[in-house]
Structure 1
Amino acid sequence: MDERWRADLALWAIPDEIAAKARTDPWGHSPARFAERTERALAEPQGPTLDRVAEALPPGGVLLDVGAGTGAAGLPLAGRMGELVAVDTSPGMLAELESRAAALGVPLRIVTGRWPDVAPVTPVADVAVCAHVVYNVPDLAAFLTELSGHARLRVVVELTERHPMTWLNPLWAHFHGIVRPDRPTVHDVIAVAEALGHRVRHEARLAPLSRFATPEGLAESACRRLCLDPGRADEVVAAAIRLDMWPLPRERWFTLWWDTGIGPTSEALPG
């Protein structure tokens, strides 16, 4: 299953001749946009991911957030946890998280780097959470194995039902004549986790908000993701309307979780 996952994910690579035209990183993410998601999560702390983490996290417990971004998956539990261990590759994202954690009085340990590369220097926690990361992970089995090995009680994973760039597929066909993949999906993640011996449970819900508030927001993102000149934004809006892409339907988000049974007496790894 892991090899199929790797092969399916590789099909999402952007052809070199198209990527060469990109003015900015087509795979990049904005810390400011992630910060907006975190502020929304702090204002309205709800949903199955938070519930599954909260029910397993003991009062004063340690939460490991892999791919923490600006803290949307962890900081809403500020009143419950004793420490947040945040792993991310982006210094900009982690700086946003650090300022919010300080304001909330959350003890924070930052590990900068890519998971599972930094697993050996990351402490074991009571619960590990990972939100909207796995579609960026070629070696999913190793990623989930280290995640489970660092969680005494439970692992919680949040992701979209399909690859998060699937919404762009009609525009790829329209502007570049390319048929983009329709795999992998959440069901492939479940299959890999189950093949590792985990009893995976899951719950689905609609995303809290639509991906974009305006057609202009959609066009700005699409131009970057499709390596188009930003001056073609009006073309993108017109194409999206013609292709019946606006408004975009809200995505389905899935929460997966499994209990690890490592127990609270596990020794922390060096960190």
Structure 2
Amino acid sequence: MPDALEQWSEQLAAWAIPEHILAGTPESPWVLNRKVFVRRVEKQLAGPRTPTHAAVLEALAGSGTVLDVGAGAGAASLPCASAITHVTAVDIDAELLAEFAARATVPHRLVEGRWPDVGAPRADVVVCANVLYNAPDLASFVRALTGHAHRKVVVEIAEAHPLTTLNALWRHFHGIDRPAGPTADDALAALRQLGIDPEVVRWRREPLRHQPFEEAVDVTRRQLCLPPERAGEIAHELRRTAPSGRGTHGMVTFAWGSARLTRAV
């Protein structure tokens, strides 16, 4: 039987950028576009709620504490503020934590650092949205989530690795094929190997609107390890291959309760 945890780690390792390409790039390709996080939380605060929010609210049952791991600007937890008595936000980015604090309407604590290395208090509900693809050691990551939850863990993940949207551009500009995985189903297999059989909700998320085209070009250029003078070519390819804008993104929400967590860890 394949080792799902090892396969998860190996598939993430395959996303490493070839050294000969990385050596020639003037900027880091691992772009953190904070504007996207801010637009996401503003959209979520305006509603409607997602299945992830529904799972958090169900577990809070009207009142409770939340630990938001990889919180960004707060899109996974702050829309549930009506039922939150206190929220702790953990993230590696201080500027995004400041955006979280600016929008928090409940008592909150900010913890800057990388999960699971950073210390954080336990909470009734632990929510972690769109972080698993950055967690090669999934066992340690998930065990830390489970160990911090009194009631439930809620995890949101894209159906496919987000960087797969650039695969055709990598082939066009560099002539190389990038990985196709892992996927949310691979994450589910790894969770089950850990002894966790979560509730699974598959849903579609509307894409963010109003991203300036120039911003998309610049972020894509850096992700592809290309210099500024190639921006025009990238713009051409983005216009040529861009979908109509009406499509939705496949998402999956996993949730499991504290009784199952105790057995799993």
Report the count of equivalent residues: 258
Decide whether aligned partners of structure 1 residues 95 and 213 sit closer, same or farther in structure 2, where only a CA change above 3 A counts: closer
Contact 1:212 1:218 in 2 (8 A): no
1:144 to 137, 142, 151: 142
SS at match of 1:203: strand
How do 1:11-50 and structure 2 match up within 5 A? 11-50=14-53
1:183 paired with 2:181, answer yes
Identity %: 43
Q: CA-atom RMSD, angstroms?
A: 2.0
Q: Is 1:93 the counterpart of 2:96 in the alignment?
A: yes
Query: Which of 254, 257, 261 is the aligned partner of 1:256?
Result: 254
Match of 1:61 among 41, 61, 64: 64
Q: 2:155 aligns with which of 154, 157, 181?
A: 157
| CA pair 247-237 structure 1, distance change in 2 beyond 3 A | farther
SS in 2 for 1:261: helix
Distance 1:192 1:212, change over 3 A: farther
Contact kept? 2:152, 2:255, Cα under 8 Å:
yes
Q: Which runs of 5+ in 1 are unaligned?
A: 267-271
CA contact (8 A) 1:85 1:108 kept: yes
Aligned-pair CA distance for 1:247: 3.9
Structure 2 letter corresponding to 1:40 = K
With 176-185 and 222-231 compared, the bigger mean Cα shift is at 222-231
Offset at residue 240 of structure 1 (A):
3.6
Q: Report matched runs for 1:227-238 at 5 Å.
A: 227-238=225-236
Aligned equivalent of 2:127: 129
Q: CA deviation at 1:212?
A: 7.4
Aligned match of 1:269: none
Give the one of 166, 170, 173 matched to 1:172: 170
Query: Which residue identity lines up with residue 107 of structure 1 in the other structure?
Result: P
Q: TM-score, normalised by structure 1?
A: 0.88
**Aligned ranges 1:197-216 → 2 under 5 Å:** 197-210=195-208, 213=211, 215-216=213-214
Is 1:110 aligned to residue 104 of structure 2? no
3-state SS in 2 of match to 1:79: helix
- Report how far residue 35 of structure 1 moved: 1.1
1: CA distance, partners of 2:243 / 2:226 = 19
Runs of 5+ in structure 2 lacking a partner?
none
Tell me the distance in 2 between the aligned counterparts of 1:238 and 1:30.
21
Contact 2:196 2:260 in 1 (8 A): no
Report Cα offsets for 1:154-200 as digits up to 9, x if no partner: 11111111111000000000000110000100001111111111121
Q: TM-score, normalised by structure 2?
A: 0.90
Three-state SS of the structure 2 residue aligned to 1:25 is coil
